[in-house]
């Protein structure tokens, strides 16, 4: 029996010719990632291990992005601890204020992950790099510590769901709408313990930013990873962002899938996930007037340049509705510069939005946009769980940057086509 794309990458990294779903393997790691919340716990664990330093100083990335610039003394102590660890171990890819960006936008931008890699990160959205044709998955801090110490991690080889992508999306249908639609179809545990393997001629109609968004939210269906075939767009992206050699793996024609799903991009509409689960999806055209208090455009899901471009296009020359707070967060310093040069930042500020330095802050209710009792937010982030962005009675509506920008102008959840 043939192997899926994920199984082939895992087999190659375990030194095996063949693996099967359910098999436990130990795989070599090409990159181990942590942030300012998960790395301190990992450092405490590595201190307990009888190991002499890290396995490879060039294959570890420590990105200070969640509560940075530090929101309080405790956060500052955490980052200090990671900074000292990075210095002691000569970690090449330590990113602090000034260089840092949101980790899952930053690593591909810096060329630190490429097709064919096996990557673990102590952050659940590490699955983002599947857009490049890498196997990447989120783990906890102890796995991160073991990965930093040994360069290896254990995995149970996953089954896969095959997602056939066809058609061409309408103007305001983006990667966010594709993944919210899929989660709405299969549920928040619809891909539990499995890979989501994307295939089909519709993928050519998705930008790399769209694919990063889709792979990013595979975890919101419970998936171990989401992965895309490596086409010319992916190769161009990797070549323009780094020099590392990539390796292209393809699923065997006779690979076995647990289930299959077809997504016709031409039939999708802008989609919104209602509180308090990403699976509670509605298309924007069927939503009654829902008054909002805040809009957030950013995060590892939707803080890339094309996300800011579509938001700027919709907001250009217009004003944010009265009483709505709009927070826009370019995901990296490079995206910030690109948005500045393109004039997007001026558009946002003139419209009455604010533009923040890169941070995960509001997405996880850390800082920079916490919601009060009963407040509603349209957010381009990835989770709308109870209390995720603030008070337990607050509500998060997950949407694309286009829907978020349109909603910022009207003050209620809005269809960008009608602005």
Size, binding site for another protein by CB under 8 A: 50
Task: Supply the minimum distance, in Å, between the C-beta of residue 42 and another protein.
Answer: 8
With CB under 8 A as the contact rule, the residue among 122, 163, 186, 351 that binds another protein is 122
Using the rule CB under 8 A, give the single segment among 235-243, 331-339, 349-357, 383-391 that binds another protein. 383-391
Q: Which two tokens stand for residue 81?
A: 């601890």
Any contact of residue 50 with another protein (CB under 8 A)? yes
Nearer to another protein by C-beta: 194 or 302?
194
Task: Supply the minimum distance, in Å, between the C-beta of residue 240 and another protein.
Answer: 30
Task: Supply the minimum distance, in Å, between the C-beta of residue 160 and another protein.
Answer: 14
Any contact of residue 117 with another protein (CB under 8 A)? no
Q: How far is CA 246 from the centre of its chain?
A: 21
Any contact of residue 67 with another protein (CB under 8 A)? yes
Nearer to another protein by C-beta: 72 or 285?
72
Task: Supply the minimum distance, in Å, between the C-beta of residue 104 and another protein.
Answer: 12
Q: Which two tokens stand for residue 76?
A: 């500052």
179-208 residues near another protein, rule: CB under 8 A = 188-189, 192-193
Query: CA neighbours within 13 Å on the CB side: how many for 144?
Result: 27
Using the rule CB under 8 A, give the single segment among 99-107, 290-298, 316-324, 361-369 that binds another protein. 361-369
Nearer to another protein by C-beta: 51 or 261?
51
Using the rule CB under 8 A, give the single segment among 85-93, 138-146, 264-272, 342-350 that binds another protein. 138-146
Nearer to another protein by C-beta: 141 or 306?
141
With CB under 8 A as the contact rule, the residue among 4, 6, 7, 75 that binds another protein is 75
Nearer to another protein by C-beta: 55 or 412?
55
Any contact of residue 224 with another protein (CB under 8 A)? yes
Cis peptide before 132 (omega within 30 of 0): no
With CB under 8 A as the contact rule, the residue among 111, 140, 229, 242 that binds another protein is 140
Task: Supply the minimum distance, in Å, between the C-beta of residue 10 and another protein.
Answer: 15
Any contact of residue 48 with another protein (CB under 8 A)? yes
**Binding stretches for another protein (CB under 8 A):** 24, 37-38, 40-41, 44-45, 48-51, 66-67, 71-72, 74-75, 78, 122-124, 126, 138-143, 145-146, 149-150, 154, 188-189, 192-193, 219, 222, 224, 277, 364-366, 383, 385-388, 392
């Amino acid at each position: 029996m043939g192997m899926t794309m994920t199984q082939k990458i895992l087999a190659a990294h375990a030194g095996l010719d063949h693996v099967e779903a359910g098999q436990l393997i130990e795989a070599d790691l090409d990159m181990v990632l942590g942030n300012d919340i998960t790395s301190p716990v990992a450092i405490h664990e590595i201190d307990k291990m009888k190991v002499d330093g890290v396995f490879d100083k060039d294959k570890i990335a420590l990105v200070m992005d969640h509560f940075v610039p530090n929101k309080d003394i405790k956060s500052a102590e955490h980052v200090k601890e990671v900074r000292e660890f990075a210095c002691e171990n000569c970690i090449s890819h330590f990113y602090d204020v000034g260089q840092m960006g949101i980790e899952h936008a930053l690593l591909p931008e810096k060329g630190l992950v490429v097709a064919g890699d096996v990557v673990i990160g102590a952050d659940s959205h590490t699955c983002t790099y599947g857009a490049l044709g890498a196997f990447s998955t989120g783990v906890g801090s102890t796995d991160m510590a073991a990965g930093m110490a040994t360069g290896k991690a254990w995995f149970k080889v996953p089954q896969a769901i095959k997602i056939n992508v066809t058609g061409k999306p309408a103007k305001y249908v983006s990667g966010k709408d594709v993944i919210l639609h899929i989660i709405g179809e299969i549920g928040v545990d619809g891909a539990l313990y499995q890979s989501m393997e994307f295939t089909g001629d519709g993928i050519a109609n998705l930008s790399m930013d769209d694919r990063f968004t889709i792979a990013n939210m595979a975890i919101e269906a419970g998936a171990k990873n989401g992965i895309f075939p490596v086409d010319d767009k992916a190769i161009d992206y990797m070549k323009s962002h780094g020099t590392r050699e990539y390796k292209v793996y393809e699923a065997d024609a006779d690979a076995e899938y647990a289930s299959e799903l077809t997504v016709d991009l031409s039939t999708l509409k802008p989609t919104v996930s209602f509180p308090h689960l990403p699976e509670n999806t509605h298309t924007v055209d069927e939503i009654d007037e829902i008054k909002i208090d805040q809009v957030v455009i950013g995060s590892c899901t939707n803080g890339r340049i094309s996300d800011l471009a579509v938001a700027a296009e919709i907001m250009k020359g217009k004003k944010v509705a009265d009483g709505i707070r709009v927070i826009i967060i370019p995901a990296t310093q490079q995206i910030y510069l690109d948005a500045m040069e393109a004039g997007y930042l001026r558009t946002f500020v003139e419209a009455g939005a604010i533009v923040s330095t890169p941070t995960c802050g509001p997405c996880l209710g850390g800082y920079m946009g916490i919601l009060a009792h009963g407040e509603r937010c349209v957010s381009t982030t990835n989770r709308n769980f109870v209390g995720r962005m603030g008070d337990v009675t607050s509500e998060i509506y997950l949407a694309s940057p286009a829907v978020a920008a349109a909603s910022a102008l009207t003050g209620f959840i809005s269809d960008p086509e009608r602005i």
